């Protein structure tokens, strides 16, 4: 049995960060919005779940404070109860810990492993990239740096910095790394004490307070296209087919899923080629570890770049005791696999990461219990594409993509999703009046 719902200005496919930010912005500006999510929870890869008393992420581990995400929450009147953790990085290399100072940190860190002339050669190349011209996107940051140094220690430092962006050292384009390095200068970060799900619920409250709706466990069957324009969506909700008309459709399902939902026949060959060539999901992984004592005594992020895998770890419960049951601690270690763009060999990657944890943490086998292993790949990637892969508009009028599959060149992750929501909202406000 089919039912119809009319009167929505915008239908949003997917309740991830991009979809909820878009819907909250539009609802705030008077648009009647409906968000439809196939999963039983909101947030997508920007959510969290309880597991054996621990709070574990579904993707995002932290969010920048003072940046585009916090400003978006302020714009729509949503609380942003994010508690920051220390942003100073600590590099664990050759059995020693090296704090990276907040000011002049890269030069100070490099001075532990190279003389002034060698470090200066690398830093001068970065300075020129900042002030004159960014490196090519056709070369990896690893290969770009090899033009200026063969020092394994210096390369390891940058290997760790790239992993902090959740990308393999050999897969991160040099131009993109320089942009991220510049963008991240001075940034602070944190998380919601109750997990990312609680943060995403603040956006849902905004949507619903303005008359919008958010459906979960409801699958969009297809996007309705008439006369080369998006006219709404058809949803399977609890076995019922619901037709929802709207003036515009925003997809947070990823560009490839959007093609399937709207029908590839409605897109021109050039756009299909762009999606096929540029939208490449990135793989990543995380091991969550339980212990009775903190396995790392540093309250911020520990970079371990010299192991089998470029790895970053944090004793999350030092900053957020709420994430662990009483008397327990939570350590999260995350790493890029051998290739960001290939399906994971999960057994191989886990074995190598566990070996890196053993090498980095004394008495790991005695004191630690592996709680959970998270993978991001294929349809649930770390990122759907590197920034700049596509713009947010599709060839179908009034059909937009948001999220990390259509991120602008900076930033990455959650700020990128929020930025795409800002771009799409601005365009809709110029073109479509709310009912």
Q: Give the model confidence (pLDDT) of 211-232 as tens digits.
A: 999 999 999 999 999 999 999 9
89 inside domain: no
What contacts 152, CB < 8 A, 6 or more positions away?
none
Instruction: Specify the pLDDT at position 88.
Output: 82
189 inside domain: no
Q: How far apart are CA 233 and CA 251, in angstroms?
A: 11
Instruction: Specify the pLDDT at position 104.
Output: 81
The answer on pLDDT for 410 being more than 90 is no
Q: How far apart are CA 99 and CA 91, in angstroms?
A: 6
Q: What is the mean pLDDT of residues 35-49?
A: 98
Helix H or strand E segment including 232: strand 229-237
Domain boundary at 149, 183, 217, which? 183
Q: How far apart are CA 41 and CA 186, in angstroms?
A: 33
**DSSP code for 264:** G
Whole-number average pLDDT of the chain: 95
Q: How far apart are CA 248 and CA 244, in angstroms?
A: 11
Q: How far apart are CA 264 and CA 249, in angstroms?
A: 16
- Beta bridge partner(s), residue 330: 290
- Token pair, residue 61, equals 């581990």
**DSSP code for 182:** H
For residues 78 and 219, state if they share a domain.
yes
Q: How far is CA 266 from CA 225, 252, 307, 391, in A?
A: 8, 19, 48, 17
For residues 240 and 354, state if they share a domain.
no
For residues 33 and 178, state if they share a domain.
no
At residue 382, the 3 state secondary structure works out as coil
Instruction: Specify the pLDDT at position 56.
Output: 97
For residues 370 and 291, state if they share a domain.
yes
How many domains does the chain fold into? 3
Q: How far apart are CA 409 and CA 386, in angstroms?
A: 8
Q: Tell me: the pLDDT tens digits for 116-132?
A: 999 999 999 999 999 99
For residues 270 and 394, state if they share a domain.
yes
Instruction: Specify the pLDDT at position 186.
Output: 53
Which residues constitute the domain of residue 138? Answer: 100-183
235 inside domain: yes
- Token pair, residue 409, equals 């060149």
At residue 234, the 3 state secondary structure works out as strand
92 inside domain: no
Q: Tell me: the pLDDT tens digits for 132-184?
A: 999 999 999 999 999 999 999 999 999 999 998 999 999 999 999 999 888 76
Q: How far apart are CA 411 and CA 148, in angstroms?
A: 26
For residues 258 and 294, state if they share a domain.
no
For residues 408 and 337, state if they share a domain.
no
Q: How far apart are CA 61 and CA 45, in angstroms?
A: 10
Band the pLDDT of 187: cuts 50, 70, 90: low
Q: Tell me: the pLDDT tens digits for 243-286?
A: 999 999 999 999 999 999 999 999 999 999 999 999 999 999 99
For residues 274 and 314, state if they share a domain.
no
* Vertex 164 angle, CA 314 and 90, to 5°: 50
């Amino acid at each position: 049995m089919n039912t119809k719902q009319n009167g929505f200005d915008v239908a949003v496919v997917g309740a991830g960060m991009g979809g909820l930010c878009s819907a909250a912005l539009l609802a705030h500006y008077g648009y009647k919005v409906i968000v439809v999510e196939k999963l039983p929870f909101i947030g997508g890869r920007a959510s969290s779940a309880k597991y054996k008393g621990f709070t574990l992420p579904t993707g995002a581990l932290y969010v920048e404070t003072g940046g585009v995400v916090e400003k978006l929450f302020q714009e729509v009147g949503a609380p942003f109860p994010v508690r920051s953790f220390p942003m100073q990085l600590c590099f664990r290399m050759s059995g020693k810990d090296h704090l990276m100072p907040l000011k002049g940190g890269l030069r100070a860190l490099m001075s532990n492993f190279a003389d002034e002339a060698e470090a200066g050669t690398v830093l001068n190349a970065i300075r020129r990239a900042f002030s004159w011209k960014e490196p090519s996107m056709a070369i990896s940051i690893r290969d770009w740096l090899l033009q200026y140094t063969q020092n394994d220690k210096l390369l390891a430092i940058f290997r760790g910095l790239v992993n902090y962006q959740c990308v393999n050292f050999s897969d991160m384009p040099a131009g993109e790394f320089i942009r991220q390095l510049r963008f991240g200068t001075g940034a602070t970060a944190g998380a919601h004490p109750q997990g990312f799900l609680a943060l995403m619920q603040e956006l849902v409250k905004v949507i619903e307070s303005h008359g919008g709706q958010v459906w979960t466990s409801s699958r969009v069957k297809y996007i309705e296209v008439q006369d080369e324009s998006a006219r709404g969506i058809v949803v399977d909700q609890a076995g019922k087919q619901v037709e929802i008309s709207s003036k515009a459709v925003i997809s947070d399902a990823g560009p490839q899923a959007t093609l399937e939902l709207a029908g590839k026949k409605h897109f021109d060959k050039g756009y299909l080629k762009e999606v096929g060539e540029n939208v490449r999901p990135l793989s990543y992984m995380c091991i969550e570890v339980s212990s009775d004592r903190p396995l790392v005594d540093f309250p911020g992020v520990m970079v371990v770049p010299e192991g089998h895998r470029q790895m970053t770890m944090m004793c999350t419960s030092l900053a957020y005791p709420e994430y662990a049951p009483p008397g327990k601690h939570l350590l999260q270690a995350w790493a890029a696999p051998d290739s960001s763009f290939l399906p994971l060999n999960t057994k191989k990657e886990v074995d190598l990461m566990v070996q890196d944890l053993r090498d980095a943490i004394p008495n790991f086998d005695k004191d630690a219990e592996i709680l959970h292993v998270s993978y991001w790949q294929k349809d649930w990637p770390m990122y759907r594409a590197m920034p700049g892969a596509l713009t947010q508009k599709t060839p179908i009028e009034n059909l937009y993509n948001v999220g990390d599959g259509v991120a602008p060149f900076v930033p990455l992750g959650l700020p990128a999703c929020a930025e795409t929501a800002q771009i799409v909202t601005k365009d809709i406000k110029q073109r479509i009046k709310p009912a």
